[in-house]
Structure 1
């Protein structure tokens, strides 16, 4: 395989696209923090209610579960 053709390998292109998507997401967060807060408001409201009703420990567990669930959703969607 010629050396120039290595840049067109799907793995190399996928890494480049992922970097661009990550930079785009960070740009949206920087430019529109209110929109991000609005998108996260149901989770924040749920955490507040759980904290109020059941305590900080359960709210922390719910936060960990939400982060892990969101990460799993993102990873399974990418495949």
Structure 2
């Protein structure tokens, strides 16, 4: 399968909403900008491995509970 046929998706928006955190709060905790959090939630930006680990620690979830690497269109589309 070609790389272009797979995408990295996440459930960051839902996790943040469950905790009632703002994008600004999450950004401050991770040391990034609010725009970075927005881009991550919209799947417009893929995090570095280091940032992915930091996100998993913040939410107290495994990386594979937050991010998934799947075929385009598999996730509700």
TM-score by length of 2: 0.28
With CA pairs under 8 Å and 6+ residues apart, which has the higher RCO, 1 or 2?
A: 2
Structure showing the higher strand proportion among its residues: 2
TM-score by length of 1: 0.28
**Which protein has the larger Cα radius of gyration, Structure 1 or Structure 2?**
1
